[in-house]
Structure 1
Amino acid sequence: MFSQSPYKCRVEWGKRGAREAAERGDVTVIVDVLSFSSTVISAVHFGAEIFPYPPSLDGQKYANDNEAEFIYGRAEAASEGKATLSPMSFNSSHSNRKFVLCSLNGAYCTWIASRVPALLVGSLLNASSVARCASELSNRTKSNITIIPCGEKWQDSKENEDSLRPAIEDYLGAGAILSYLEGDKSPEAFVCMSAFKGVESQIENIIWDCGSGRELRERGFSKDVKHCSRLNVLETVPLLKYDHFVKL
Structure 2
Amino acid sequence: MGASVVEQRGFPVRFGWGAEDLAVLTPVSDAVVIVDVLSFTSAVSVAVGRGARVWPYRFRDASAAAFAASLGVQLAAPRTAASSPGRWTISPAGLAEIPAGTRFVLPSPNGSALSAAAAVHPSVTVVAGCLRNAAAVGGWLAGLVTANAANAGRTVAVIAAGERWPDAAGRPHAGPLRPAIEDLLGAGAVLARTVERAALSPRRHLSPEARAALAAFRAAAEADPTCDAAVGETCSADAHAVSVDAASSSGGAGLLADLRESVSGRELAAGGWGADVVAAADLDADDVVPVLTDGAYDRLPEWTTN
TM-score (ref. length: structure 1) = 0.92
State the 1:92 CA deviation. 4.5
Of 44, 63, 67, which residue of structure 1 is paired with 2:68? 63
Letter of the 1:70 counterpart: L
Question: What does residue 87 of structure 1 align with?
Answer: 92
Question: Quick one: higher RCO (CA 8 Å, sep 6+), 1 or 2?
Answer: 1
Question: What does residue 162 of structure 2 align with?
Answer: 151
State the 1:191 CA deviation. 1.1
Deviations 1:16-63 (A, max 9, x none): 122223221431001000000000000001111101111177111111
Q: Secondary structure, in 3 states, of the residue corresponding to 1:134? A: helix
More off after superposition, 7-16 vs 195-204: 195-204
Alpha-carbon distance in structure 2 between the residues aligned to 1:65 and 1:47: 22
CA 1:223–1:77 in 2, change beyond 3 Å: closer, same or farther? closer
More off after superposition, 30-39 vs 92-101: 92-101
Alpha-carbon distance in structure 2 between the residues aligned to 1:241 and 1:77: 28
Count of aligned residue pairs for this structure pair: 246
Q: Contact conserved, 2:12 with 2:145, CA < 8 A, in 1?
A: no
Question: What does residue 179 of structure 1 align with?
Answer: 192
State the 1:136 CA deviation. 2.1
Question: Percent identity, aligned pairs only?
Answer: 32
Q: 1:30-109 counterparts in 2 under 5 A? A: 30-55=34-59, 58-78=63-83, 82-109=87-114
Q: Contact conserved, 1:27 with 1:146, CA < 8 A, in 2?
A: yes
More off after superposition, 13-22 vs 50-59: 50-59
Question: What does residue 290 of structure 2 align with?
Answer: 238
**Higher Cα radius of gyration:** 2
More off after superposition, 215-224 vs 231-240: 231-240
Alpha-carbon distance in structure 1 between the residues aligned to 2:132 and 2:60: 28
Letter of the 1:227 counterpart: A
Q: CA RMSD in A?
A: 2.0
Q: Which runs of 5+ in 1 are unaligned?
A: none
Q: Contact conserved, 1:47 with 1:92, CA < 8 A, in 2?
A: no
Letter of the 2:81 counterpart: E
Alpha-carbon distance in structure 1 between the residues aligned to 2:85 and 2:272: 16
Q: Which runs of 5+ in 2 are unaligned?
A: 223-253, 301-306
1:206 lines up with 2:258 in the alignment: yes
Alpha-carbon distance in structure 1 between the residues aligned to 2:142 and 2:220: 24
